[in-house]
Structure 1
Amino acid sequence: MPDREYGDRIRALRRQYREDRQAFDPPEDPPASDRAMSLCREGLGPTVMVYVDARANDWGVRFSESEFDALHETLNGYLELYAACYGVDIHADVTVREAAELLLDTHNVRDVAAMLTGVPARHGENGTNA
């Protein structure tokens, strides 16, 4: 895939994230685990996979600074929305490489989101520390 096609995918993912963020209303009675999983499958996973695809299939691909910025915004934004589904407010600052390595290790985007956010808490599914 030429570099331009990756750029187009990245821009489309960021547009979708911004639409999802704009439309997002935190759940009134968290957790909303089905909603969190949907954000993982439809947003977080595809965002990480752009990076994985580029690194696994096209080593010559070089992302521009603006493309990395878009990936960073989209990845971290989806992690924040994911956590909000559990009633947890976080400020995510994860690199796409870190998320990609976890995805390759776990093969499960929900596990990636849980490890990167700490949500839900390991001892419970409700996202609290109690």
Structure 2
Amino acid sequence: MSLIPDEERTYLSCDPLIADTASVNRPDDIHTPEFLNTINSSGLPNHKITLKVGVPIMLLRNLDITAGLCNGTRLMVTKMGRYVIEGRVISGNNVGEKVYIPRLSLTPSDTIIPFKFQRK
């Protein structure tokens, strides 16, 4: 990324805990946002992502299969908004098309984590 002469933008996740009604009053189920931010799980982006215009990125989820936005599709970042990233497809059947990637809520499917949370 240091080779690309453009301004960086850092995106931070918001990781709310999904409350389980059976364990709401248990004191050992309290997880701080700092702890949730440190969790790295398969299929989840990291808590902190730094991007620049011109950087290639890869989708981790199927967003729109008919438009070719599938897991593994590569994009080149063209614009960065507060909650949306604009990109140009650089792999697959729709090379050259402009697409928009919104902020998503993802829940890890890793069974090792004994509680549920979302990463936006």
The TM-score, its normalising length taken from structure 1, stands at 0.23
The TM-score, its normalising length taken from structure 2, stands at 0.24
The structure with the largest alpha-carbon Rg is: 2
The structure in which a higher percent of residues are helix is 1
